[in-house]
């Protein structure tokens, strides 16, 4: 029974959302889940959720907070304001933590729609990957009113290792995440280029990986993603198409500020090329597969 416990619904039970939902359970919050994947819903129910299913209609009026961990702005808007939209079913004063990677303009548009229904929004993108999400140690870059922060504090306590309060203006959190994704995307693309060059030069990739991860050229993204290349395992933890989306947001942000982003623009082209070549749903390390004339572990040389 949920009793008087704080009640939160996590919408989007992918790798990050499932981790966040399990962290809410571990923190003792009455936790609900929404996802179109019945296996994800069943797994969360088995872990102790109050309920989980394809929509929140049955329990929306009980909720104190909603955490949105869907893929993009279109999904956020669909969940909240589309047919059978959640926003109309929530009690006024409910906190909505929007944690998808979206543009500042979309964050402001969503906040305005929520405000019309008396709902509090935190513009709160997250980072840290599935491992940190599962450990309740995500990094949250948030902006919003004091009321929104206060309302969502139990969710932040349950899911975050670090919470950065960027300011009160909606859109600031989204912008910080977009700038972060510039680095993340460029680091993966640069790591792939380096490993592709090593392959071409006949350097064993496990040796190259070991050298870099113990030297000054390392980055978190190189260490995490290039291990997938060494192992020949492109199981999608974060897919190529995610970085097509995120680096598009980065380049659009640069364009809106009339600011040049030469490295981000190149990285976007590399991920778009990988997606166009048929690797969009593979792990984002598969951006390396677009380099011609090299042999990679576990990859057929004529893979299409």
- Do 271 and 128 belong together in one domain? no
Same domain, 190 and 120: no
165 and 179 inside one domain? no
Quote the domain boundaries for residue 155: 7-169
Count of domains observed in the chain: 2
CA–CA distance, 176 with 150 (Å, rounded to integer): 21
Shared-domain flag, residues 278 and 186:
yes
Q: Note whether residue 300 is domain-resident.
A: no
**155 and 183 in one domain?**
no
Which of 132, 177, 245, 289 is flagged as catalytic? Answer: 177
Say if residue 111 is in the same domain as residue 137: yes
Residues 36 and 184 grouped into a single domain: no
Last residue of a domain, one of 121, 136, 169: 169
At which residue do the structure tokens 């997938």 appear?
Answer: 228
The CATH code of the domain that includes 54 is 3.40.50.720
In the annotation, is 289 catalytic?
no
Q: What is the pTM of this model?
A: 0.92
The answer to whether residue 301 sits within a structural domain is: no
172 φ, ψ to 5°?
A: -70, -40
Q: Domain of 240: which CATH number?
A: 1.10.1040.10
Q: Do residues 256 and 188 both lie within one domain?
A: yes
227 lies in the same domain as 100: no
Using an 8 Å Cβ cutoff, are 65 and 152 in contact?
Answer: yes
Which residues are registered as beta bridge partners of 138? Answer: 160
pLDDT tens for each residue of the chain, 304 residues long: 456 899 999 999 998 999 999 999 999 999 999 999 999 999 999 999 999 999 999 999 999 999 999 999 999 999 999 999 999 999 999 999 999 999 999 999 999 999 999 999 999 999 998 889 999 999 999 999 999 999 999 999 999 999 999 999 999 999 999 999 999 999 999 999 999 999 999 999 999 999 999 999 999 999 999 999 999 999 998 999 999 999 999 999 999 999 999 999 999 999 999 999 999 999 999 999 999 999 999 987 554 4
Indicate if 18 and 144 belong to the same structural domain: yes
Q: What does each C-alpha distance from 213 to 187, 209, 225 come to in angstroms?
A: 13, 6, 12
Task: Assess contact for 189 and 152: CB atoms under 8 A.
Answer: no
Burial 83-99 (b: 16+ CB within 10 A, else e): eebbbebbeeebbbbbb
């Amino acid at each position: 029974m949920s009793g008087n416990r704080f009640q939160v619904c996590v919408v989007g039970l992918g790798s990050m959302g499932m981790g966040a939902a399990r962290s809410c359970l571990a923190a003792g919050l009455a936790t609900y889940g929404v996802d179109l994947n019945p296996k994800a819903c069943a797994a969360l129910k088995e872990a102790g959720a109050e309920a989980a299913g394809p929509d929140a209609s049955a329990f929306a009026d009980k909720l104190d907070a909603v955490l949105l961990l869907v893929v993009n702005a279109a999904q956020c808007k669909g969940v909240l304001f589309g047919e059978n939209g959640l926003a109309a079913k929530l009690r006024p004063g409910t906190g909505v933590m929007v944690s998808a990677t979206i543009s500042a303009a979309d964050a402001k548009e969503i906040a305005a729609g929520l405000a019309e229904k008396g709902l509090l929004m935190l513009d709160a993108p997250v980072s840290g990957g599935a491992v940190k999400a599962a450990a309740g140690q995500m990094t949250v870059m948030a902006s919003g009113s004091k009321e929104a922060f206060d309302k969502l504090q139990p969710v932040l306590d349950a899911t975050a290792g670090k919470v950065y309060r960027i300011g009160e203006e909606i859109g600031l959190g989204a912008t910080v995440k977009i700038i972060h994704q510039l680095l993340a995307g460029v680091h993966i693309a640069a790591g792939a280029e380096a490993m592709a060059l090593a392959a071409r030069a006949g350097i064993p990739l496990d040796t190259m990986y070991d050298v870099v991860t113990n030297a000054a050229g390392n980055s978190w993204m190189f260490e995490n993603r290039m291990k997938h290349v060494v192992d020949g395992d492109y199981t999608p933890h974060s897919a190529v198409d995610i970085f097509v989306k995120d680096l598009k947001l980065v380049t659009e942000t640069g364009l809106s500020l009339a600011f040049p982003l030469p490295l981000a623009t190149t990285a976007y082209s590399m991920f778009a090329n990988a997606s166009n070549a048929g690797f969009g749903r593979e792990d984002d390390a598969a951006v390396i597969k677009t380099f011609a004339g090299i042999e990679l572990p576990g990859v057929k040389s004529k893979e299409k």
